[in-house]
Amino acid sequence: MKRAVFLDRDGVLNIEVGYIHKVEDLHLIPGIAEAVRRLNDRQIFCCLVSNQSGPARGYNPVSHVEALHKRLCQLLENEAGAKLDALYYCPYLSAAEGGTNPEFTRYTTWRKPNTGMLVAAAWEHDLDLRNSFMVGDKATDVDMAHNAGCTGILVQTGYGKSVLSGEYQHHTKPDFIAANLAVAVEWILQHLD
């Protein structure tokens, strides 16, 4: 079984701008491609896990989410020769949470803080969740990590600072708080040695 680093998308890899309506508006946070490349160089499995409720809210089709992920992967490759080993996302949302498109409106174990995406990734790629890390900018990312037995890291990019101040979502207890993904990766690598 392999260790993994699970990465949220918006606010961790790319700049948080709310719902991205134009694919070309997705931009990496500076220094992030190099951070992912450091994980790649150590043969650590890098996996995107992201709530993407746009299809359920009727904002955009699944093909738009896929196009954003294609751009994300291209930018990582272009900037630092970095890659994600797998990408998982949840386009579903319950009606109570705001889902309106019948095709994607439902409760699912894949939506954070539920562990469905992590369990699917672990099953499909032989990953050791108990010795893996989740990096996110929301309380739900840290909660999902802990629900699955992973180490939960909160970055202060994206919504991270608002989570820490209590202005966004709810208080949570990350195992580590990092300024950004580059700092989180440095901490992860120290804990792997």
3-state secondary structure of 15: coil
How far is it, in rounded angstroms, from Cα 14 to Cα 30? 9
Known catalytic residue: 128? no
97 contacts: CB under 8 Å, gap ≥ 6: 53
Find tokens 């450091």 and name the residue: 38
Q: By the 8 A CB rule, do 103 and 55 touch? A: yes
Partner residues linked to 80 by β-bridges: none
Q: Is the peptide bond before 113 cis (omega within 30 degrees of 0)?
A: yes
Active site residue 10: yes
Residues designated catalytic = 8, 10
